[in-house]
Amino acid sequence: MARPRTAHKTAQQNDDGQVDKAEARRIALDRIAELRRLSYQELCARFLDNPQCLEARGASGAMYQVETEALWDDRKAGHLRVMVAVDDGRGWSAILPLTEDFIVAPDGSFLGE
């Protein structure tokens, strides 16, 4: 996940140097909620084989990198997995970002729910 770095305040770290996971999870879940409002066709057109990265500010004022990507979970059935990864661009969170995802079928239904 190569991304441009900016000179913003980075995510708050707790005493052991880890990113604020609760804040990162809130950002990921907010992004997931936005994506779930899009149609299957729009998700395919915008994110399939075309990861997109943006920045989001947490409640603490810290900046996070948010990557959205879609890939086939079951290509034959047309099931699309949409994933969101959130990190602060430093340390372990950049290597192992917090992730959330969902799977959507061509009819717009969500699988596994």
Q: Does 9 reside within a domain?
A: no
Q: How far is CA 8 from CA 59, 61, 71, in A?
A: 14, 9, 31
Q: Does 3 reside within a domain?
A: no
Residue that wins the pLDDT comparison between 112 and 5: 112
Q: Does 6 reside within a domain?
A: no
Q: Does 14 reside within a domain?
A: no
pTM comes to: 0.81
How many CB atoms are closer than 10 A to CB 37?
A: 7
Residue 101: give the domain boundaries: 21-111
Q: Does 48 reside within a domain?
A: yes
**Cα–Cα dist 88/46, whole Å:** 24
Residue that wins the pLDDT comparison between 82 and 10: 82
Number of structural domains found in the chain: 1
Domain CATH number, residue 44:
3.30.1300
Q: Is the pLDDT confidence value at 67 over 60?
A: yes
Q: Does 47 reside within a domain?
A: yes
Task: Supply the pLDDT for residue 3.
Answer: 43
For residue 20, give both structure tokens.
């604020």
Residues 31-65 have pLDDT tens digits of: 999 999 999 999 999 999 999 999 999 998 989 99
Under 8 Å CB-to-CB from 60, ≥6 apart: which residues? 11, 12, 20, 23
Q: Does 30 reside within a domain?
A: yes
